[in-house]
Amino acid sequence: MTRATKAWALLLALSAASTALAASGLAGAARVMPVLVLSGLKAHVILRDYLGLWVAPGWLRGFDFGLALLILAFGGLALAA
């Protein structure tokens, strides 16, 4: 199985988890935080496997750091609302 195929399968699994979470009936911050984490994981997979940043680990760490800050900021806003 190629790297792209494995990434595609992982993205499908993460999307299924997002769908299950949406159908779970949770509301508010209880739904926002897991959705943010799942979207961050999906972004990481896309950056790593589809954009090829596995060959540039410094760039990948930089993007991961930026994504983590964004997820934390959005999570903080969700908790404050």
Q: How far apart are CA 45 and CA 43, in angstroms?
A: 5
Q: What is the pLDDT of residues 19-36, one digit of tens each?
A: 998 888 887 777 888 999
5-20 tens-digit pLDDT: 999 999 999 999 999 9
Confidence (pLDDT) at 29 = 76
Is 19 within 8 Å of 26 (Cβ atoms)? no
pLDDT of amino acid 23: 86
Read off the pLDDT band of 60 (50, 70, 90).
very high
**Model confidence pLDDT, tens digit, residues 44-59:** 999 999 999 999 999 9
Which residue in this structure is represented by tokens 């790297």? 3
> Would you say the C-alpha torsion 44, 45, 49, 50 has a positive or negative sign?
negative
What integer is the mean pLDDT of 68-76? 95
Identify the CA nearest to 44 among candidates 25, 69, 63. 63
Query: What is the distance between the alpha carbons of residues 73 and 10, in angstroms, rounded to a whole number?
Result: 25
